[in-house]
Structure 1
Amino acid sequence: MTNGMTNDQPFSCVLDARAKLGESPVWSVAEQALYWVDIKGRSLNRFDPAAGTSRAWAVPEDIGCVGLRKGGGFVAGMRSGLWELDGEGRPLALLAANPEDHAVSRFNDGRADPAGRFLAGTLDEPKAGGKAHLYRLDRRGLAALAGGILTSNGLAFSPDGRTLYHSDTPTFTVYRYRYDPVTGEVSDREVFVRLEPTGDDRGRPDGAAVDSEGCYWTALYEGGRVRRYAPTGALLSEHPVPARCPTMVAFGGPDLRTLYLTTASAGRPAEELERFPRSGGIFALAVDVPGLPEPLVDPAV
């Protein structure tokens, strides 16, 4: 196992997007473009790094995550449920309703598994009762995989598809499950990483991705940095971000050696935004160890 880079190499801003709550970056290999969402800004966005251009499409409600759909379009986790969207973010069909109270719950982090199922979790907005869940959507319908969660986050798969990572952000914990890529079932949950907050550091694990060596990259919300962990849970490197609230990473670029990062600006103190004026932007880091192509959501699975 190699580190693959120098510790403390920083991220740099590649798109001053001014997002309220940027999230769910996903790289389209076919288009060589990065899709991402602004949850509170209610938009689906497309960034073309080669051209330096970006587009945004309004969506009708809070949108927590998006996955590229086989045949075109997207599957998106929204407040009301999991939806099929067309290529410009227009809702086409409700695939599964959010079974929780929409007044205090919305879908948050999500991604396709290697077989094409879509996994997505919810967020318990009051952070009061651990009422959020992690769900799996396939042709059999919606099924709960885990419960007792405050904010479902950090979904990522090992390169062989047999390990699922999943974080509960407010509890500062990343879990690891045994995952059956044939059935989509999970078992044997264990703590992978638990962070220890301090009075000055409330950095906690948000969105994540796994590279081709099986290492887990996690954005630390309110921590201003991204960490890379070995499959053993050992911390390999840490990379500062010129924004206090990084939210999720995704591998992209022609060789999947660019690590993109979304960030947030909504609700942050004025002093913080003065110090980090690119908060809400898209950032990037060149890495030596590439990622893996993002699976497409397959409605037939």
Structure 2
Amino acid sequence: MSRQAHLVWEIGAALGEGPVWVERDQALWFVDIKKRQVHRVDPESGDQQSWEAPAQVGFVLPAKGGGFIAGLQGGLHHFDPKKGTFSLLVAVEPDMPDNRLNDGVVDPVGRLWFGTMDDTERSKTGAFYCYYRGKLMRTNVANISITNGPAISPDGKMLYWVDTLGGTISACEIWGDGQLGPSQLVVRIDPSEGHPDGPTVDSEGCIWISLFAGWETRRYSPAGELLERVRFPVANITKIAFGGADLRTAFATTATHLLKPEQLDQQPLAGSVFAFSAGVTGIACPWSRTEERRRKR
């Protein structure tokens, strides 16, 4: 493959998001937030599967004990694809019914980091959280309308987070106790170029950011230098995930969300899943450790 993005699944997602390559079954999993669906596609066989979620679902990430941890609107759930069931693990922001969970990532330790946001995309009520072994912790990164990411550096020491409406990608250290250090601006993107959506980090530590209403995915160095652009035939690119047997294929989710009828006519593949050769290896997704730590007797 070249850097030319090619079609994987013409699914027409309203808000395709959260792509993740699951090595245990060699397939790409992703969600459609607005349609409340979870999807799986095997790019080799072409096999496609879908599940209905009971609420808006921002992400699904593989859990160590089997199945997935899913970020539904009101909290974290365990998702069992064999049964199609969602079981509540912990409620998140139960006093804020207008918020929902959006994007998430698992670090090398097995901690789940995720963000919340105002579902109307206006109020600055979003924040980032960490969930590990049954314990939910709110971080000091908050007061954001649309959170995206976070993404984790290869060594697990740096966390990158996105303020989509603010047009920024920031970084902060992950301290030994799981707390976050002060945030430092890495990249600022002018809104005329698109809005930074989901971030992903490759094995070289570079940040891949997809642009909603920007027609492309970009690769930045950890210092914020623009290294590469990959263009798409649709405007709303939401996030990429590295996959394939060698983790060198980048899969991208896209969205029809907020497109006007005339824009949809001009972008017949909007909402599809695409892929391109990344030219660099990604990082395998660790299993999230959602179980509570057992006490020693």
Q: Using structure 2 for the length normalisation, give the TM-score.
A: 0.93
Q: Say if 2:93 is the partner of 1:95.
A: no
- SS of 1:188 mapped into structure 2: coil
Assess, with a 3 A threshold, how the Cα gap between structure 1 residues 265 and 126 changes in structure 2: closer, same or farther: closer
| CA offsets 1:117-174 (integer angstroms, 9 cap, x no match) | 1111111133443111101111252111121111110311111111100001111011
Q: Say if 2:158 is the partner of 1:163.
A: yes
Q: Say if 2:176 is the partner of 1:185.
A: no
- 1:274 maps to 265
Shift of 1:92: 4.4
Question: What CA distance in whole angstroms lies between the structure 1 residues aligned with 2:73 and 2:151?
Answer: 22
- 2:146 maps to 151
- 2:123 maps to 129
Q: Say if 2:247 is the partner of 1:253.
A: no
Where does the alignment leave 5 or more consecutive residues of structure 1 unmatched?
Answer: none
Q: In 2, are the aligned partners of 1:208 and 1:250 still within 8 Å (CA)? A: no
Q: Which amino acid aligns with 2:167?
A: F
Q: Say if 2:16 is the partner of 1:16.
A: no
Q: In 2, are the aligned partners of 1:22 and 1:262 still within 8 Å (CA)? A: yes
| CA offsets 1:3-58 (integer angstroms, 9 cap, x no match) | xx99xx33221110111110000101121100000111111110000101210011
- 1:43 maps to 37
| CA offsets 1:161-208 (integer angstroms, 9 cap, x no match) | 11100001111011101113x43221021111111123xx4x111012
Assess, with a 3 A threshold, how the Cα gap between structure 1 residues 292 and 249 changes in structure 2: closer, same or farther: same
Shift of 1:266: 3.0
- 1:218 maps to 209
Question: What CA distance in whole angstroms lies between the structure 1 residues aligned with 2:49 and 2:96?
Answer: 29
Question: What CA distance in whole angstroms lies between the structure 1 residues aligned with 2:213 and 2:126?
Answer: 21
- 2:74 maps to 80
Question: What CA distance in whole angstroms lies between the structure 2 residues aligned with 1:259 and 1:42?
Answer: 24
Q: What is the Cα-based RMSD across aligned positions, in Å? A: 1.7
- 1:240 maps to 231
Q: Percent identity?
A: 38
Assess, with a 3 A threshold, how the Cα gap between structure 1 residues 126 and 20 changes in structure 2: closer, same or farther: closer
Where does the alignment leave 5 or more consecutive residues of structure 2 unmatched?
Answer: none
Q: How many residues in Structure 1 have an aligned counterpart in Structure 2?
A: 291
| Mapping for residues 54-65 of structure 1, pairs under 5 Å | 54-65=48-59
Shift of 1:90: 3.5
Q: Using structure 1 for the length normalisation, give the TM-score.
A: 0.92
Shift of 1:243: 1.0
Higher deviation after alignment, 125-134 or 262-271? 125-134
Q: Say if 2:284 is the partner of 1:293.
A: yes
Assess, with a 3 A threshold, how the Cα gap between structure 1 residues 110 and 123 changes in structure 2: closer, same or farther: same
Q: In 2, are the aligned partners of 1:83 and 1:91 still within 8 Å (CA)? A: no
Question: What CA distance in whole angstroms lies between the structure 1 residues aligned with 2:237 and 2:145?
Answer: 19
Question: What CA distance in whole angstroms lies between the structure 2 residues aligned with 1:117 and 1:96?
Answer: 15
Task: Pick from 274, 290, 293 the counterpart of residue 283 of structure 1.
Answer: 274
Question: What CA distance in whole angstroms lies between the structure 2 residues aligned with 1:250 and 1:107?
Answer: 19
| Deviant stretches of 4+, over 2 Å | 87-93, 100-103, 125-129
Q: In 2, are the aligned partners of 1:23 and 1:247 still within 8 Å (CA)? A: yes
